[in-house]
Amino acid sequence: MSETSTSGTTPSADSDTNVASTAHIRAAVIGCGDISAVHLAAIAARPGTRLVAIADTDAGRREAASATHAVPGFATLTELLDAVEVDVVHVTTPHSEHAPLAIEALRRGVNVLLEKPFAHSLEAGRELADAVAAPGAGKLALCFQNRYNTPVRALFDRLRSGELGAIRGAVGTVLWHRTADYYRDRPWRGTWAGGGGGLLMNQAIHTLDLLQWMLGPVEQVSGSASTRSLGDVIEVEDTAEMVLTHAGGAQSVFFATLANSRNAAIEIQLETEHAVATLRGDLTIEWADGRVETVAEPVTATGERSYWGVSHELLIDHFHSTLADPEPFWIGVDAGLDTLTTINAVYDASFPDRAALAAVKETAE
């Protein structure tokens, strides 16, 4: 379990992460698509942070966001950084733009909060990792916000304390639903060039991150990905399965699909020496001695996108409150490259010609 530094100290289940920094932080949001609404709301809710600008290449989205939030709007990150003093940029663009935009900001000494995935390819991810490590670069945080969910933090704390004993194995499932219109609305989502992948890069990546965070780095991957229900509108995968061998020898079994009839609750179940622990919204621990313990999520998300969870605001607040700390943020390069490496292994086995397909499409466009 890596990435534990001072500003990267893993929040405990009973810690208060909503501690506003005394400094006044100037934030900008790059990309005004669906997920940007969560970031904009979190920025507005944080007393120590002020939104100073937005950027989007789409004029309609840019003008709407600029008017709604009463801040200047720009077509590019370069234009924004040339015109406005910014302490941190939130990158919420299509996946293929994550690494280039983050690298540009980091090289100008600006901190970056990056939506997942870390990059749309492993090669781009490595370039971004180099930019983070360069002298004078800003700090980077990766939005794996589910690590802040109260039940998730409670399970991690119990694993770390040793009270559950050794991990024997785990199972993770993501049974969600996406329609053809979801991809027609944002065509980049269904392409290798724009999304870098499908289900694994967009929806299931959070669950993979939690498995790797709790069980340890993945040392061996055996799996496959395929397009089972949406092949008429996407070239990437909508279904995947894998068996992961983690450092220390424990294995996790993972299955995910977008062919389910609804967005079912994500489930992770760990078998340990002393208990079986199940994350399905809440945490249920069934102890070997017959005791049953439950840790509930105190705040429940509602609405059409309730599956996004409630913890973006906690992660954003934590990152903003640690910008002045010299240490790297605790969810960053390692977490990003770990998930990309696992996903890349499955893609190499299942879609070995994806890079050529993406290049052809980029040339055609």
Give the Cα-Cα-Cα angle 269, 190, 95 (nearest 5 degrees). Answer: 75
Yes or no: say if 358 and 192 are a contact pair by the CB < 8 Å rule: yes
Yes or no: say if 169 and 251 are a contact pair by the CB < 8 Å rule: yes
| CA-based max dimension of the chain | 63
**Rounded Cα–Cα distance for residues 280 and 360 (Å):** 41
pLDDT (tens digit per residue) in 115-160:
999 999 999 999 999 999 999 999 999 999 999 999 999 999 999 9
Q: Is residue 6 over pLDDT 90? A: no
Amino acid letter, 205: I
**Rounded Cα–Cα distance for residues 62 and 45 (Å):** 21
Residue 97 DSSP class: G
The pLDDT, as a whole number, for residue 184 is 97
The pLDDT, as a whole number, for residue 355 is 83
pLDDT (tens digit per residue) in 290-346:
999 999 988 765 544 555 557 999 999 999 999 999 999 999 999 999 999 999 999
Q: Which long-range contacts (CB under 8 A, 24 or more apart) does 14-22 make?
A: 17/148, 17/314, 17/317, 17/318, 18/314, 18/317, 19/317, 19/321, 20/46, 20/47, 20/48, 20/317, 20/321, 21/48, 21/320, 21/321, 21/323, 21/324, 22/48
Q: Which residues pair with 88 in a beta bridge?
A: 27, 111
The three-class DSSP label of residue 280 is strand
Instruction: Determine the topology of domain 25-145 in CATH.
Output: Rossmann fold (3.40.50)
**Rounded Cα–Cα distance for residues 164 and 291 (Å):** 13
Q: What is the mean pLDDT of the chain?
A: 92
Q: Is residue 5 over pLDDT 50? A: no
- Averaged pLDDT for residues 270-279: 98
For residue 356, what pLDDT band results from cuts at 50, 70 and 90?
Answer: confident
pLDDT (tens digit per residue) in 219-271:
999 999 999 999 999 999 999 999 999 999 999 999 999 999 999 999 999 99
CA-closest candidate to residue 199, choices 170, 178, 214, 171:
178
Detail the DSSP E strand segments found in the chain. 25-30, 49-55, 73-74, 88-91, 111-114, 140-142, 167-175, 218-226, 239-246, 251-257, 267-272, 275-280, 282-287, 292-295
- Averaged pLDDT for residues 171-197: 97
The pLDDT, as a whole number, for residue 309 is 58
Q: Map tokens 């840019």 to a residue.
A: 62
Q: Where are the domains of the chain?
A: 25-145, 150-307+332-364
**Domain 150-307+332-364, second-level architecture:** 2-Layer Sandwich (3.30)
Yes or no: say if 264 and 257 are a contact pair by the CB < 8 Å rule: no
Yes or no: say if 7 and 332 are a contact pair by the CB < 8 Å rule: no
CA dist list (Å): 91 to 111, 141, 184, 189, 238 = 11, 10, 22, 16, 25
Q: What is the signed CA dihedral for 76, 206, 308, 37, rounded to 10 degrees?
A: -10
The pLDDT, as a whole number, for residue 308 is 55
For residue 16, what pLDDT band results from cuts at 50, 70 and 90?
Answer: very low
Q: Is residue 1 over pLDDT 50? A: no
Give the Cα-Cα-Cα angle 205, 270, 306 (nearest 5 degrees). Answer: 45
**Rounded Cα–Cα distance for residues 330 and 9 (Å):** 6
Taking the whole predicted model, whether its pTM rises above 0.85 is answered as yes
Asked if the bond preceding 135 is cis, omega within 30° of 0, the reply is no
The pLDDT, as a whole number, for residue 232 is 97
